[in-house]
Amino acid sequence: MRELTGLSLEEMQDFVRELGLPAFRAKQLCQAVQKGMDFEEMSMLPSSLRQSLQEYAVAQPVSVLQVHTSAVDDTVKFLFALRDGNCVEGVLMHYHYGYSLCISTQVGCRMGCRFCASTLEGCVRNLTHGEMIGEVVCANRYLGEKGRVGHIVLMGAGEPLDNFDEVIQFLRLVNREESCGVGLRHISLSTCGLVENMYRLADMDLPVTLSLSLHAPNDAVRRTIMPVANRYSMADVLDACRYYVKKTGRRVIFEYALIGGVNDSESHARELAGRLRGLQCHVNLIPLNEVRERNLKGVSEETVRRFLKTLEDLHISATRRREMGDDIAGACGQLRRQVLNSTER
Ligand code: SAH
């Protein structure tokens, strides 16, 4: 079955030709698919045509199963249903510059980070690029007249560079006019640091922002919380980041979740600053979102402030990431887990 959200205009034209339909149907179909319509809603098509399309294609590979709106800010958390019964999460945030959508790239994740809820049951499967576009289509349909998704972060469940080919296809399609029209410069890809694929991405000339989940100032600490650190040393990861900066001219964002007693001391901050010196980068400090299944602790406001100040004093550009949607299980993998747990019971 072809996922129509995953087709470029040229591919839609080929598809339409294969079915023996007139060429103008291609554009029509692209537009209808982007509006989030399923075949039943495409009243501009003769019903016989809608029926035959249904035999060969899926118009909407993703649908909205649940919507949770935050009471404290404008954040919306979606639980998206996929056609095989799996579900993934997405988070829609409203900033002064517009709407930003955080999407998932895999059902679950196999990276095993000790603080993360998405990886608790491993990776079930990769998402297709049509499904990733489908997440954006769902959010746009939800927004309706209020606006459109203008920024995308690949920071939901899954490791984007572990689903490399589909993610690249997604990036190549999503900025096209007949698709979601989100410019690559408005897209961030977050990775735990799969080094070979970081180099491959850098060589593709896709001007997306790279976010690197560092979370530690050295290999010893990193290995206690991120199994991937046993595969790649921090030196190799940072070299790949330097290469990314050189190839794309874009600074790298380092994500650093502060975990009580693990990576949050003054000397950790100093060591981190030393490692990042000379690298064109920015550090995003995130107070750990405590996950029920994990016995890691968050940190106090005071600790965040101190860590931030140490970095700034050492001339490392850093900010504390705003937490949004805290009351709606906004963090990675938490909502899907709530649903999995409640259906298990
Ligand atoms: N696999 C990718 C993208 C998904 S995770 C990656 O590792 O970057 C998105 C971000 O959320 C990562 O920086 C991840 O380390 C962080 N994260 C996951 N669980 C978290 C938690 N409980 N508290 C704070 N940040 C968390």
Cα 124 to Cα 279: distance, rounded to the nearest angstrom? 36
| Tens-place pLDDT, residues 120-152 | 999 999 999 999 999 999 999 999 999 999 999
30 is catalytic: no
Residue boundaries of the structural domains of the chain: 1-60, 73-344
Distance from chain centroid for Cα 254: 15
From the options 3.40.50.1440, 3.40.50.720, 3.20.20.70, 3.40.50.2300, give the CATH code of 73-344: 3.20.20.70
Please give the chain's pLDDT, 345 residues, in tens.
899 999 999 999 999 999 999 999 999 999 999 999 999 999 999 999 999 899 999 999 999 999 999 888 889 999 999 999 999 999 999 999 999 999 999 999 999 999 999 999 999 999 999 999 999 999 999 999 999 999 999 999 999 999 999 999 999 999 999 999 999 999 999 999 999 999 999 999 999 999 999 999 999 999 999 999 999 999 999 999 999 999 999 999 999 999 999 999 999 999 999 999 999 999 999 989 888 777 899 999 999 999 999 999 999 999 998 766 666 655 556 666 666 665 543
* Set 30, 87, 89, 241: catalytic member: 89
Tell me the fold of 1-60. Answer: DNA polymerase; domain 1 (1.10.150)
Helix (H) or strand (E) holding 150: strand 149-154
Residue bearing the CA closest to ligand 1, atom 21:
289
Question: For residues 335 and 148, what is the distance between their CA atoms, to the nearest angstrom?
Answer: 24
The yes-or-no answer on residue 11 being catalytic is: no
CB 12 within 8 A of CB 30: yes
